[in-house]
Amino acid sequence: MKVPARNIILIGLGAALAGGLIYTAFRTKPVPVDLHIVTSGPMQVTVNADGKTRIRDIYEVAAPLTGTALRSPVEVGERVVRGETVVAIVEPTAPSLLDSRSRMQAEAAVREAQAARAQAESGLRKADEDLTELCRNAVRAGADAGRTRRGHLYPARGRDPAACHRAGGPRCRRLGAGHGGWRAGTRPRRADRARGGRTGRTGG
C-alpha cells in the first residue's frame, strides 16, 4: 500500500514541531550579560545599591526674613561649594505693619532715649558753668593776692591760681590773661624781698 506524499509531509512537519517544543522546554536558559564596547582607559566600577547615610554634622539653614521657600535647586547628596552653590531660594513676603502695641512701645523707647539725652546735655552745661565760675574765682583770688602788702602769703592751696591754671586748662589761661592777676601777684613779693635786704627780713 502506497502512502501518499501529502501524509508524509504532514507527519514530518508534526515531528519537527514536536521536537522543537521538546528542545525549547528542556534547554538551559541563557545567562544575561552586559555588553560594552572595549576601549583603552582607566577602569571604573559603579555600584548601585540602596542604603542609609549617617550624618556627623547637621547644619540648619535659616533666613532672617519671612518668605516662602521654593524648591531647592540641588538634590540630596550633591556636592556643594561655599559661596557658589545655591541651596535654597526664598521669596520674601511683604513686611507686615506694626500693630498698635508694638508701635506704642517703640515710641515710648524713643521718648525715653530723648529724655536721657536731654538730661545728659543739661548735666554737661551745668558742669561747664561750674568750671567757668571756678576759674573766675581763681583769677580774682590771684588778683587780690597780687595787691596784698608785704608779708601776706597766697591763699590756701585749694585757691591757688596756678593750680587752677593747671587744672582748668585753656579756659583759665584765657581768663588769667585778660585779668593779669597772676603776673601782678609776683611783683609785690619781689619788692618785699628787695626791701627786706635793706631793713631786715620780715615775715614771709
pLDDT in tens, 126-158: 999 999 999 888 888 877 776 664 444 444 444
Q: Are 192 and 202 in contact (CB under 8 A)?
A: yes
Quick one: pLDDT at residue 113? 93
96 pLDDT tier (thresholds 50, 70, 90): low
Quick one: pLDDT at residue 196? 46
Q: What is the mean pLDDT of residues 20-37?
A: 83
Please state the domain extents for the chain.
109-199
Quick one: pLDDT at residue 151? 46
Output the CA–CA distances (angstroms, integers) from residue 44 to 34, 37, 49, 51, in the order listed: 15, 14, 16, 21
**Residue 103 or residue 197, greater confidence:** 103
Quick one: pLDDT at residue 102? 76
- Residues sharing a CB contact under 8 Å with residue 86, sequence separation 6 or more, in sequence order: 73, 74
173 pLDDT tier (thresholds 50, 70, 90): low
Quick one: pLDDT at residue 64? 67
pLDDT in tens, 67-86: 777 777 777 777 878 877 77
Quick one: pLDDT at residue 29? 79
Quick one: pLDDT at residue 125? 92
Quick one: pLDDT at residue 98? 59
